[in-house]
Every structure is written in structure tokens, then in C-alpha cells.
Structure 1
Amino acid sequence: MEKLKPVSRNMLSRWSTSEDSLVRVFRNSSWLFSAKGVGAILSIFYLAILTRTLGVAGFGEFMVIVGAVQVLTAILKLQTWQAVVQFGVPYLLAGQHREFRKLSAQNFWIELLGGLAACGALWLMLPYGASQFGWSIPIVQAIMGYGVIVFLSVRSTPIGILRAQDRFGGNAFGDAIIPIVRFAGALILFLTTPSMTGFLIVWGLSEFVSFVVMWLMVWLRDETDHPLRNAAALAVVPPSRKEFLAFLLFTNLAYLISVVRERLVVVIVGFFVGPAAAGLFRLADQLANSLNRLSEVFARPLFAELSRLFAIGQSRELRALFWRSLRASAISGAVLFIGLLLLGKYIIALISGPEYLAAFPLLLLLGAATIISLAGLGLEPLLQAAGRARNALVARLVGLVALGLLMAAFLPSFGTIGAAWVMLISAILTTIMLFVSSRSAIRQPQHPVPNSRKP
């Protein structure tokens, strides 16, 4: 036993200090996984409270509201974290702290202005939604309040700052706040008087608290030195406006497409099939997307690491990291689907009750779609880090067009099961296109960041 202790300490030391690319990705993923692990456990409890207190139709209605707000967020409130990482990491590696702060401030205002536009759009759209679902004035007011908080909470920029500085621990803490607040609020409502208005207030409060915590993590520890800073690095020329806007546009369109696939389908099912069908579909989608959260845990640090390798021109290490990560994600995806097949029914019954068991076939199809995306999770981060965000966007766009066309054909005839099959077909098509596009980026890596010059 005494011999094992030094070995264990030695392994932990290697884990915490190793600069192997895949180890760095897993180390940063472990921070995010701790937050997502907390979120996954707590979300089971607040999802059970939601489904059991609101009922199938009420839960579906609630998820239509949340989904519509998230789609508006994706359309109008730009996600800036990838731009901060892509163009900020070279600044930090070169020690250009002032330029990094300027880039961060620019992205803050971009995100905030988009949030203001989303507030205006929600105000214009609410009357139509109220007439469609028969919402009362208190519910309409709660929806507007929830939307304003989500839209004006500038969270993407501080996320980018923390990730660019390799501070995934702070990022994880800010992410973990959301499920903690939702769980606490849902539990209080369950013990008192649960209502849709109350749940909307809790969901909005969770976004606001996370927003405050994220910025506190940025301001309380303004770590301007990147841990891998190269003292002899060349000064970085700022990206041109065209280059910056193009990257922001392509990454946000790709993000919009993923949100549309995840959220807008639920809204469409709710409007055209009914709230009860939307409730079953969303429950299955929520459980399937717990797997997607695992993919995000790995993909976000992977993007940051790929950006670093492109910035310093490590082509061989870049290719090795990509293929190693692809193998790891494919194996984990297969294991997850087997678990879903064996335990899916029991999970649904345990969380939401037997009246939701009709969601099991939907869970298998949506879970398969998510796992296919999980198997290729390194594809899109590679294209974005390589400065080929346009290729990722084209693949996502083709998948979205296929989704829309097939939805129009399948939904009227087959209902929710048809919508689930459409999600699976779209995921397969998108992943194939991403893989084909990534091959050229691997074979001919290009420097994605602005050219450097001697200071």
C-alpha cells in the first residue's frame, strides 16, 4: 500500500501538469463535467417536479415557451464566446493584454445589442402566442420577464474570456449555478404552490444569477497571462472587420441551426399537434439531450485546444488530437446508446410517471440522433478552429433544409414519431457532411488567425 501512494501521487501530478493535447482537453473537460454532472443530477429532480406538477399538456406548454425564447436568443442575441477564443488566444499567447480586453469589450456590446433586439421581437410576438394557447395576463407578463432576463444576461462573452484564459474551473462554476437555482426554486414551488408562472420566474432567476457569477469570475481574478504564453511570440495583427464579422456570422448561423433543430421542432409540434404531444416529445428530447450535454463538455475544451494548436502551427499534434478524440467519442457514443436501450423505459417511469411511457420510442430515435452527433463531435470544432466555419455552416444548413422538408412531409401523417425520425435522418446527413469537410482541413491545415509580425 505504501508503494501505491507515491504512484498515485505521481499519476495525479502528471495529469495536472501534462501538456499533451488530449490530456489538456480531458483535464479542462473534467471541470465542465463536474458542472454538467451537478446539472444532470439536479435536472432529473426538477424535471420530475415539472412533469408531475404541470401534467403532460402543461409541461409541453412550458417547454414551448422556453423553446421559443431560446430560438429568439439564437436568432438575435449573438453568441460571442467562440470569437473571443478564436481571436483572443493569439493575443494572450503574445502577451497583448490590452488588445484582448478591447476584443472582449467589443463582443460584450455585440451580445448586449442583440439581446435588446430580442426583447423587442418577443414583445411583438407575445400577443399571437397568448391567443394560440389562451395564456392569462400573469403568464404573459412572466414570459416577458423571463425573456428579458435571458436576453439581457450577457453570458457568452465572459464564457469566452474564461475559456481563452484556460480557466475552465471558473466557467464550470458559473454553469453549475443554473441547475442549482432551478432545483432549489422548483423544490420550493413543489412544497408551496407550483404554477407555470412560478417556474418561469425560477428559470429566469437562474439565468440572472449565472450571469452575475460569470462576470464576478472574470473580474475577481483578471488573469491576463495565458498559462502557455510564449515570451518570444510574435505580435498579432488584429483581425479585419470583414474577417471578424464573417467568423461571427458563420459560427452563429451554425449555432442557430443547432438550436432550431433542438428547440424549434418542439415549438412546431406544440403548435400543430398540441401541447400534450409537445410534452412527450420534449421529455424524450430532454433526456436525449442530457447525452448532448456530455458532448458539449468535451467539444468546448477541444475547440479551445485546437485553436491553440492552429495558433502555434502544430500540424502533426493537431491531426493526432483530432483522430484520438474522434475514436474516444465514437466508443462512448456506442456505450451510451446501449444504456439508453436497456434503461430508457425505467428512467422515464422513474422521473415522470407511467403516463409518459409513450415517449420511449421517441427517446430511442432522438437519443440515436444525439449519439450520432456525439460520435462526430470533433468535426465542427476542427473546422471552426481552422478558420473554415463556413464549411461547418454549410453542413448544418443542408441538415436543416432536409429537416424542414422532411418535417413538412412526415409531421402531418405520423405526428411526433415522424418528427423524431426526421431528427435522426437530419443528424446522419449533417455528420456525414461535417466529416467530409473536415478531411481537407486535416490534410491541409491553414493558419486561421491573423498573420503575425515582429513587434
Structure 2
Amino acid sequence: MSQNRLSRWFSSEDSLVRVFRNSSWLFSAKGIGAVLSIFYLAILTRSLGVAGFGEFMVIVGAIQVLSAILKLQTWQTVVQFGVPFLIAGQHAAFRKLSARSFSIELIGGLVACAALWLMLPHGATQFGWSGTVEQAILGYGVIVFLSVRSTPTGILRAQDRFGGNAFGDAIIPIVRFVGALALFLTRPSMTGFLIVWGLSEFVSFVVMWLMVWRRQDQAPLPQSAITQAAPAPDRKEFAAFLLFTNLAYLISVIRERLVVVIVGFFVGPAAAGLFRLADQLANSLNRLAEVFARPLFAELSRLFATGQSRKSRALFWRSLRVSALSGGVLFLGLLLFGKHIINLISGPEYLAAFPLLLLLGAATIISLAGLGLEPLLQAAGRTRNALLVRLVGLLTLGLLMAFALPASGTIGVAWAMLISAMVTSVMLLVSSRAVISKPQRPVPKLRKP
């Protein structure tokens, strides 16, 4: 009986089962990452201290914000336009799309390298970094910018090969844990941790492309596969989707990373350290949301590409119930065990981060409850709607921070992020009503090969 259930699990074409099956691959990677990140986060916080940890996170956050601004993410574009090619068996067209995405991502990375080289002296003056630390920051940034990881991620997800994607993602926390442990046993320093973080990005980049090249043309087709040729996206459609998805990604990175950089600049490294610790623990919940949301986007794209509107609506409502229930359970866990987790990982000097953890955790869980809304809009071709909602949420956050940061410091920023998350989720729900009631994205017209 159990073997039959296991067989049905791996062979089922039910949309939600497919999402959970692909999520299980990503969850295995995120699960490894979550466990190992607890250990290397403990090493980081205890080795560098509150101020040193905050300074390290300001550096990492600034690099990631710069990457989000200049180095375009292409995985959603590969999935959106590549899935119809794979369904139709047009592997040459899919490879051409992938090569185009690779070039876009690499050019953006080169531009980001030049920008970092120009901006780094100003940051070194602001924080008083030594020449050695400045060189380590430059090296870390170059590795992050030139590691083309988004394109292979899109290739693997479009081909429904989430196992390979999970393996590439799992490499990052493994390398960071091993490197942080080696530093802890020898001589921990800011420079050493930056080298380890850069090495983890590079190894993941190499592994991800090895997984892509391992089976380039093999992609499972669903039972509803169509046989006619799928039309290639025109230049305007491609550019618009790439622009809107990247602006939405940039907004999410600004919310997650730039806020820490701002706290570091205006309040100080120690405050940034406490804020980032709470934010990182809260974002562990966000990682769980990503585990579910990314396969959900791929599956919704597949359903829209084959014109299965009814199934896409059913999948959305089922996923919404699952995510809402999960969010309630996770917040209860934070309320009961959050303070003990902070003390266990980083020690009593970080316990001041507990109120921040509750507020930031609540903000993350509100976003988790509606995690299917943005993938639904993107898969339905309404990336502009999703972007506008994110922009309004970001503007709300900026206005609230302008008042709360001078008056209340980090706790005010945490309240601003919570209110902004509530506004964003409500607006996403309102914007998604038309798609939920009746998806209006036309199925692409097919032409015979």
C-alpha cells in the first residue's frame, strides 16, 4: 500500500502534487541550509560581536542590493517563455532563449563590477575599512556579480528538474558552514568570512552549470503536452517581462537588504547587527515561502501555457489555504521559542533583537499567507500589476521609515516593515481578483512547424 502511494506521488500530474513534489526538492536544500545557517550564524555573531556582525551584514547587503540593481535576474523569463518551447519539443529555441538570458545576466554582472570599483572608496571612508578588508569586499563583489546563477536556475526549473536546482542551492550553506567552522578553529576575521562567502557563491555557480550540462535536452512533458510549434516572444514582450520581474525582485531585495544598510548608516553597526539577526531569523520563514512559491510559479506558467484556466484557479485556492495555515503555526512558534532561539544561537547580548524578531516575523508571515498572489499575476502575464503593488508597498515603507527611524530607531523600522507588508498583501489580493475569478491571459496562438 505504501509503495503504491509513493508511486502515485512521483507519477501524479495533479498540479498541487507537482508543486509539493518540486517543493520537496527545494525544501531538502533549504532544510540543509536552515540547519547549517544556524551554526554559521552562531559562529559569525559570536566571532565578530554585535557591531562587527552588523558591519559584515551591511557589506553583504550592499553587494546584494547593487547586484539586484545592475545584474538582471533571468530565471523567471526562462521559465515563462521557455516552458512553451519545451512542451512543443523545440529544444533549439529553448537553448537560444537560455543563451540570450545568459548574455543579459553576464553583461549586468560586468556593469556591477565597474560600479563597485567606483563606489567602494566612499564606503571604506564611511566605515573606516582597512585596505585588506576593502580588497576582500571587491573580491567578494566580483565573484557575486560574475557568477551567472539565475539562468541555469531558470533552465532547471523550466525542465522540471528541481532536484538539480536544489543541489546547486545546497552547496552555498555547506561551503559557508565548513569555511566558518575552519575560521572559528583558526583565526576568524571579517576578511576571512568575506572570502568564505565569495567561495560559496562561486562553487554554487559551477555546480549549477554542471547540472544543466549533464542532461541538456531531457525534459519531461506533461500528459497535456501540445505538439504544435510555440511562437517565440517578440522583443518588446521579452523586455517588458524581464524589466517588470526584475523591478519586483529589486523591491524585495531593497526590503530585505537595503533597510539593514540604512540602519547601519544612520543608527550604527551595533543596531544593524541586532536588526539583521532578527531579520535573518524571520527570513528563514521567507525561505520556506520561496520553496513553495517558485515551483508554484513554474506550475502556474505551465497551466497558463496550455490554456488550463480552471486548473490554475483551483491550484491557487488550494495553495492559499496551505500557506495561510502554515503562517499561523510559524508565528506561534516564534512567539513561544523566539527568545530561546536567539539566546542559543548568538548569546544573551543579542536578546534585544526579540521584539524585532516578532514584528519582522509577523511581516514575513503576512507575506507568506498570500504567497500565491504574485506568482499568479506573473504567470498570467500581469507582471506590471505585481510591480505596481510592490512599488506602492516600497513607497509606504519608505515614508513610514522616514518618520519612524528618527523617532524610534530599529523598532520603528520593524513596525514600518510590518505595516508595509500588510498594505502589499491587501493590494495583491485586490489586484488578483480578476485573474482569480476568470484568468484573461490568452493562450498563445500556435502555428504548425
TM range, normalised to the smaller chain? over 0.9
Conserved? CA contact 1:90–1:311, under 8 Å? yes
Conserved? CA contact 1:57–1:275, under 8 Å? yes
Note the C-alpha offset of 1:439.
1.0
Q: Which one of the candidate residues 217, 221, 224 is aligned to 2:211?
A: 217
Aligned partners of 2:225 and 2:129: how far apart in 1?
A: 60
Q: Does 1:120 align with 2:91?
A: no
Q: How big is each residue's C-alpha offset from its partner over 1:253-298, in whole Å with a ceiling of 9 and x where there is no partner?
A: 0000000000000000000000000000000000000000000000
Q: Does 1:309 align with 2:313?
A: no
Conserved? CA contact 2:87–2:226, under 8 Å? no
SS of corresponding position for 2:216? coil
Note the C-alpha offset of 1:443.
2.1
Q: Which residue of 2 aligns with 1:174?
A: 168
Note the C-alpha offset of 1:447.
3.5
Q: Does 1:184 align with 2:178?
A: yes
Residue type at the aligned position of 1:119: C
Q: Which residue of 2 aligns with 1:400?
A: 394
Aligned partners of 2:376 and 2:323: how far apart in 1?
A: 14
SS of corresponding position for 2:83? helix
TM-score, structure 1 length as denominator?
Answer: 0.97
Residue type at the aligned position of 2:293: A
Conserved? CA contact 2:55–2:272, under 8 Å? yes
Aligned partners of 1:416 and 1:225: how far apart in 2?
A: 48
Note the C-alpha offset of 1:446.
3.0
Q: Which residue of 1 aligns with 2:68?
A: 74
Conserved? CA contact 1:92–1:229, under 8 Å? no
Q: Which residue of 1 aligns with 2:403?
A: 409
Residue type at the aligned position of 1:68: A
Q: Which residue of 2 aligns with 1:104?
A: 98
Conserved? CA contact 1:310–1:446, under 8 Å? no
TM-score, structure 2 length as denominator?
Answer: 0.99
Q: Does 1:244 align with 2:232?
A: no
Q: Which residue of 2 aligns with 1:273?
A: 267
Instruction: Give structure 1 stretches of 5+ with no counterpart.
Output: 1-6
Note the C-alpha offset of 1:231.
6.0
Residue type at the aligned position of 1:407: M
Q: Which residue of 2 aligns with 1:164?
A: 158
**CA, structure 1 residues 39+47, in 2 after alignment: closer, same or farther (shift >3 Å)?**
same
Q: Does 1:27 align with 2:30?
A: no
Q: How do 1:226-305 and structure 2 match up within 5 A?
A: 226-228=220-222, 232-305=226-299
Q: Which residue of 2 aligns with 1:138?
A: 132
Conserved? CA contact 2:160–2:219, under 8 Å? no
Conserved? CA contact 1:91–1:236, under 8 Å? yes
Report percent identity of matched pairs: 81
Conserved? CA contact 2:297–2:379, under 8 Å? yes
CA-atom RMSD in angstroms: 1.0
Q: How big is each residue's C-alpha offset from its partner over 1:163-207, in whole Å with a ceiling of 9 and x where there is no partner?
A: 000000000000000000000000000000000000000000000
Q: Which one of the candidate residues 394, 415, 428 is aligned to 1:434?
A: 428
Q: Does 1:338 align with 2:325?
A: no
Aligned partners of 2:78 and 2:63: how far apart in 1?
A: 24
Q: Which residue of 1 aligns with 2:9?
A: 15
Note the C-alpha offset of 1:10.
1.1
SS of corresponding position for 1:303? helix
Aligned partners of 2:226 and 2:241: how far apart in 1?
A: 28
Q: How big is each residue's C-alpha offset from its partner over 1:46-89, in whole Å with a ceiling of 9 and x where there is no partner?
A: 00000000000000000000000000011000000000000000
Q: Which residue of 2 aligns with 1:388?
A: 382
Note the C-alpha offset of 1:442.
1.8
Conserved? CA contact 1:53–1:194, under 8 Å? yes
SS of corresponding position for 2:409? helix
Q: Which residue of 2 aligns with 1:40?
A: 34
Residue type at the aligned position of 2:324: A
Note the C-alpha offset of 1:224.
3.6
Q: Which residue of 2 aligns with 1:323?
A: 317
SS of corresponding position for 2:432? helix
Q: How big is each residue's C-alpha offset from its partner over 1:197-242, in whole Å with a ceiling of 9 and x where there is no partner?
A: 0000000000000000000000012134333276652211111100
Instruction: Give structure 2 stretches of 5+ with no counterpart.
Output: none
Q: Which one of the candidate residues 142, 148, 158 is aligned to 2:142?
A: 148
Note the C-alpha offset of 1:449.
6.5
Aligned partners of 2:443 and 2:111: how far apart in 1?
A: 30
Q: Which residue of 2 aligns with 1:3?
A: none
Q: Which residue of 2 aligns with 1:370?
A: 364
Conserved? CA contact 2:401–2:416, under 8 Å? yes
Conserved? CA contact 2:13–2:222, under 8 Å? no
